Amino acid sequence: MRQPSRSRLRRVADLAVPVVVAVWLVLLILGPPKEDPPWGLLGTVAGIGSGAALYWRRSHPERVMLVTLAGGLAIQLIFPDGVSPTPA
């Protein structure tokens, strides 16, 4: 059996990390229904945006950090009991 090359593993990680983080944030935001927050859609968009921004973390690290911190702040303000800024 042939071993996968580093470049292939890197491509898989470059796609898997943003998807896993975005899904994780959306699941935390939409998690167990306590109350229906009026800003739930904004929190969902912030979670998806923060996770999706991680795709460019190798080529634009400063911009990605700004996007993920802004998304994490939005999520933290909307859901103060739940989510930490995971992507950041």
**pLDDT given for residue 25 in this prediction:** 83
CA distance linking residue 51 with residue 25, whole number of Å: 8
pLDDT in 10s for each residue of the chain, 88 residues: 666 677 888 888 889 989 998 888 888 777 766 666 667 788 888 889 988 899 998 899 999 999 988 888 888 887 777 656 565 5
CA distance linking residue 57 with residue 24, whole number of Å: 18
